[in-house]
Structure 1
Amino acid sequence: MKLNEQTVLVTGGSRGLGASIVKSFAREGANVILNYFQSEEAAILLAHELGEHVLAVQADVRDEEQVQRMVEQGEAYFGKPVTTLVNNALIDFQFNPATQKPLEDLFWADFLKQLEGSIEGTLLPVQACLPGMKAASFGRIINIGTNLVQNPVVAYHEYTTAKAGLLGLTRNMAKELGQHGITVNLISGGLLRETDASSVTTDEVFGIIKATTPLGKVTTPAELADVTLFFASDWARAVTGQNLIVDGGLVMNG
């Protein structure tokens, strides 16, 4: 299915990487459901900027009723089921090495918050979109991970552990859903320059990444966003269960 024939749901789509993903799909002519949680003003402004093919809808991706209502609203507005889902929402986390808790100060609740954001916040939108994807015998599920799983430059324990779990969920979904024509893949970005979550990252950390990355630069949200187009397109029709690291070559994974 061509990108301009698709309806795409992007969770956490009002700011940072999510906004770049929304812009990438809108540029290709797709219908886009722009999900937001708290950033109403940013979401409405972005939807207005991009035009009638972008609909901003509020929902907490950890709330089953809100997620179901969001999907129903978006599908009714565009008159088509969601064919591509990008699970991008990030719940209450900033990449700040100066304030990251050391291991001995972490609570299980810190891990639960990130597990709920990464796992529950992926599971519920997938479940809401599956009926339409199965009926169409076509679907693209794209999850956003991190290269910190392979290369923990900073020990963001709770965040990285949740994203490692997301990799496992991605591969299990790929195994089960392939029979329905649905692919499921993970894009693991490096630290991006710049999003709201990385705005507090120190220049020292960015400098380390730049100095040790083959491309000699820090990846931007727009560069990672365009990779989601590949996984949503017919070009990736035979690719599923994969973890593609998009970080300028910092982590090379065989």
Structure 2
Amino acid sequence: MTTPTTPAEQHALADQIVLVTGGARGLGAAISRAFLDAGARVLINYRTSAESAQALGEQFPERALAVAADVRDPEQVRGLFDAAAEHFGAAPTTVVNNALVDFVFNGDARSKVADLSADELAAQFAGSVQAPVQVIQAALPGMRAAGFGRIINIGTNLFQHPVVPYHDYTATKAALLSLTRTFADDLGCEGITVNMVSGGLLRTTDASAATPEEVFDGIAAATPLRTVTTPEQLADAVLFFAHPWSRGVTGQNLIVDGGLVKG
């Protein structure tokens, strides 16, 4: 006699279709690869990194699909889900909002308080708040049909440790954290969880490649683990929120930075 499976067991990582926005390079590529290594089918979204997206997809030809879309455009977002349904036979029910549009992690190049403009704030709001909302809205019909959904937003530890003047970036990521918690309350009754994973400086991505070695060393010395978090380590935490092990967790922000900041 076989033991009936629970809903959580029916949505193991290997059974999921996952959309990773900005999934072709840096942290996004690490997240895409982690899901692919776990047996999931992955829609690798990209905007300009076509070569990287295709190269990653070719390593997993039966389970990866690279699709170009600017997630700030709702019509292109809908096209992502149409492409997944056509290729995989179903829409994604796990979404990782990772895309970060046109932002340079260079404190010297970012506007200080006196110079911060409405245009800068609006540009980051479009990429870090409105785009994830549009992706989530496009995912909801498929999640509701499945009675299951996992939404994982990528945040930052700079709320707790504002050591660089990324005012527009941190303001919009704070807004995304607020939506993470309110969406979790709104969608939990439908079997959909919404969580955030927040890192700090990662060693090393395209965005952090120009960071001086002494900065990495200083951050490592300040952490209990005496190391700088890697994209792969942060990707592990993302997988946790998609795994059945996290089925009782929603509305949470998990900081993955080697213990640099607390809570």
Question: What code does the residue aligned with 2:49 have?
Answer: S
Following superposition, which runs of at least 4 residues in structure 1 exceed 3 angstroms of deviation?
none
Counterpart of 1:50 in structure 2 is 60
Counterpart of 1:156 in structure 2 is 166
1:185 aligns with 2:195: yes
The answer to whether the 8 A contact 1:212-1:250 is kept is yes
Shift of 1:76: 1.6
Structure 1 stretch displaced more, 201-210 or 212-221 = 201-210
Larger radius of gyration: 2
Question: What code does the residue aligned with 2:150 have?
Answer: R
Structure 1 stretch displaced more, 149-158 or 199-208 = 199-208
The answer to whether the 8 A contact 1:85-1:141 is kept is yes
1:214 aligns with 2:252: no
Counterpart of 1:115 in structure 2 is 125
C-alpha distance in structure 1 between counterparts of 2:108 and 2:48, whole Å:
25
C-alpha distance in structure 2 between counterparts of 1:211 and 1:101, whole Å:
28
How far does the alpha carbon of each residue in 1:142-170 deviate from its partner, in whole angstroms, 9 at most, with x for none? 00000001111212111111100110010
1:84 to 84, 94, 106: 94
Question: What code does the residue aligned with 1:88 have?
Answer: N
The answer to whether the 8 A contact 2:155-2:197 is kept is yes
Counterpart of 1:137 in structure 2 is 147
1:200 to 210, 229, 233: 210
The answer to whether the 8 A contact 2:40-2:63 is kept is yes
1:73 aligns with 2:83: yes
The answer to whether the 8 A contact 2:153-2:195 is kept is yes
C-alpha distance in structure 1 between counterparts of 2:97 and 2:256, whole Å:
16
TM-score scaled to structure 2, two decimals?
A: 0.94
The answer to whether the 8 A contact 1:96-1:202 is kept is no
2:248 to 211, 232, 238: 238
C-alpha distance in structure 2 between counterparts of 1:73 and 1:156, whole Å:
35
1:40 to 35, 50, 57: 50
C-alpha distance in structure 2 between counterparts of 1:182 and 1:127, whole Å:
12
The answer to whether the 8 A contact 1:97-1:202 is kept is no
Shift of 1:104: 1.2
Counterpart of 2:108 in structure 1 is 98
The 5-angstrom pairing of residues 53-64 of structure 1 reads 53-64=63-74
Shift of 1:41: 1.1
How far does the alpha carbon of each residue in 1:1-40 deviate from its partner, in whole angstroms, 9 at most, with x for none? 1110110000000100000000000001100000001111
Shift of 1:98: 2.4
Shift of 1:250: 0.4
Unaligned 5+ runs, structure 1:
none
Shift of 1:249: 0.3
The answer to whether the 8 A contact 1:119-1:162 is kept is yes
Q: Percentage identity across aligned positions?
A: 56
The answer to whether the 8 A contact 2:21-2:97 is kept is yes
C-alpha distance in structure 1 between counterparts of 2:105 and 2:212, whole Å:
9
C-alpha distance in structure 1 between counterparts of 2:213 and 2:109, whole Å:
15
Q: How many residues align?
A: 253
C-alpha distance in structure 2 between counterparts of 1:205 and 1:94, whole Å:
17
How far does the alpha carbon of each residue in 1:96-132 deviate from its partner, in whole angstroms, 9 at most, with x for none? 1222222212211111111111101101110111001
Question: What code does the residue aligned with 2:135 have?
Answer: P
C-alpha distance in structure 2 between counterparts of 1:75 and 1:215, whole Å:
42
C-alpha distance in structure 2 between counterparts of 1:240 and 1:82, whole Å:
19
Counterpart of 1:126 in structure 2 is 136
1:25 to 9, 28, 35: 35
Shift of 1:80: 1.9
Unaligned 5+ runs, structure 2:
1-10
TM-score scaled to structure 1, two decimals?
A: 0.97
C-alpha distance in structure 1 between counterparts of 2:106 and 2:215, whole Å:
10
